[in-house]
Structure 1
Amino acid sequence: MNRIIAVARLQAVGRRDGLLWPLVVLSIAFAVNLFVFGSMGDEIGDRPVTGGLASVYITGLAFGAVAIAQQFPFALGMSVTRREFAAALGLFTLAQTVIYAVLLVVLQAVENATDGWGLRLRFFGLGFLDAYGVPTQLLIYAVPMLLMSLIGITLGTVYVRWHTNGVFGAICVIVVVLGATAGLITRYGRWPAVGEWFQDQSALTLFAGWPSIAVVLLALLSWTALRRATA
């Protein structure tokens, strides 16, 4: 366990940019939204949701992929086993996710207390979150962040295992599967049923429950690819 913690600390040092850049991107998106909606004055309406919060999740995905490609070869060179590397990466990713989730919950509370930063704006909050307690809010913020990180990590493990052809091959498979699914739903006119299914899901199920299943599947897929990777 001590060795896994040591490897996680090594990853934290090597990923300082990965920790900071999502916050930098989030801050820039926030500043831009404040400027744009502040310029609108009374035309802003009643607390619109800007969607800018997605920036931190997308950045987390990107750095998850880069972390594997950069750190896995170095870890092998330092005689770190694949199991130790995977366990340390999981520990680091979980800690990072918790930190971001706590930060977002705090910022949402500040946003509510200041009536949307004095502009009736929703940047960190999503409206429906106000109906839930802090533990539920943490899950709704954290699990999608964990999912995005796992998507990036999975792409990174595919790269170190099968290199560029593997990544493009995986993307092609995803596009084909999503396209075929959308085509079948359209062919049989099931889009209203799909919409009803989403409406019947609670926020906790939709943002934390189903994504948790995807997180587990991606973690297993990543480990399967990583255990045979040679960097």
Structure 2
Amino acid sequence: MTTTAAPRVPPILTVARYLLLDRVTYLALPWLWAAFAFGLDVVILQLVPDDHSAQRWVGGLLAAFAVVFVLGIQTVARALPFGLALGVSRRTYFLGASALAAGLAGCFGTVVTIGQLVERGTGGWGIRMAYFRAPGVLDGAWWQTWLTASAAFVLVFAYGMWYGLVHRRAGLIGTVVFGAAQGVLLTLLAAVVTWTHNWLRLGHLLATSPIAAILAGLAALLLAGGLVTVRRLQI
């Protein structure tokens, strides 16, 4: 009698399954915060005077992205050492985490797209609230919304993983310096744009550029850089 060996699970899938052992954190927490922010937006719009605009945007959906950023940090800073105990390489772990982020991003984009359709159909939930529609960013056709929301999810997750990489390599002080350096750089860039009087030109450039492609490109750069960096990381 012969026995058939069980099919070997790809290492990348093993990493994704390992991370999803914490289902509440990866699958529920972003949406719990998004639901809380939705209710908070409703309360805010009921309290503030109605400006009679076509869309009343508060920005509650950003709460979900804040959680996604923290998830990215945790995926490397906290879960990486235990993940390596599975016998996978640092490169495989990072690819598995990135694949999980891409899968979650597709689901996130789908929920945002459906939410946007319902939001439009109900006149902004009866109060002209733009929760799933961010002016100029998430306010186009359904496929544009899906692509933009999905790309933004991966970008924020990858950005969080970079903070996790820095924390594992340089500790808390290095992480603070990393964040402060970005703040200084953004301040200098804003100063240059101000001194050259190019805010209108920059705004026009961003308004006419494919946002989804820009976000996807930035996410790809962060993931590629992270893949190189994690291979040299000491645990």
- On whether the aligned pair clears a TM of 0.5, the verdict is yes
Aligned equivalent of 1:179: 187
CA RMSD of aligned residues (A): 2.0
Aligned equivalent of 1:59: 67
Aligned equivalent of 1:26: 34
CA distance in 2, matches of 1:98, 1:117: 24
Other structure's SS at 2:78 match: helix
Unaligned 5+ segments in structure 2 are 1-8
The runs of at least 4 aligned residues of structure 1 exceeding 6 Å deviation read none
Higher helix share: 1
Aligned equivalent of 2:216: 212
Higher mean C-alpha displacement, 16-25 vs 148-157? 16-25
Aligned with residue 88 of structure 1, among 96, 99, 110: 96
Q: Counterpart of 1:185 in structure 2: which amino acid?
A: V
Shift of 1:119: 1.5
Change (3 A) 1:181 1:187: same
Unaligned 5+ segments in structure 1 are none
Q: Deviation string for 1:169-218 (max 9, x for gaps)?
A: 2223212222222222223333333233234x24xx12x11112211111
Aligned with residue 146 of structure 2, among 133, 138, 150: 138
Q: Counterpart of 1:216 in structure 2: which amino acid?
A: A
Q: Deviation string for 1:126-173 (max 9, x for gaps)?
A: 3665542x2222102111111111110111111112222331222232
Q: Does 1:221 find its partner at 2:225?
A: yes
Change (3 A) 1:67 1:50: same
**Kept after mapping to 2: 8 A contact 1:161/1:228:** no
Q: Counterpart of 2:30 in structure 1: which amino acid?
A: P
CA distance in 1, matches of 2:47, 2:204: 38
Change (3 A) 1:127 1:189: closer
Q: Deviation string for 1:78-131 (max 9, x for gaps)?
A: 322112201111110101111111011111111111111122221112366554
CA distance in 2, matches of 1:91, 1:58: 20
CA distance in 2, matches of 1:39, 1:187: 39
Alignment of 1:89-104 (within 5 A): 89-104=97-112
Q: Does 1:126 find its partner at 2:142?
A: no
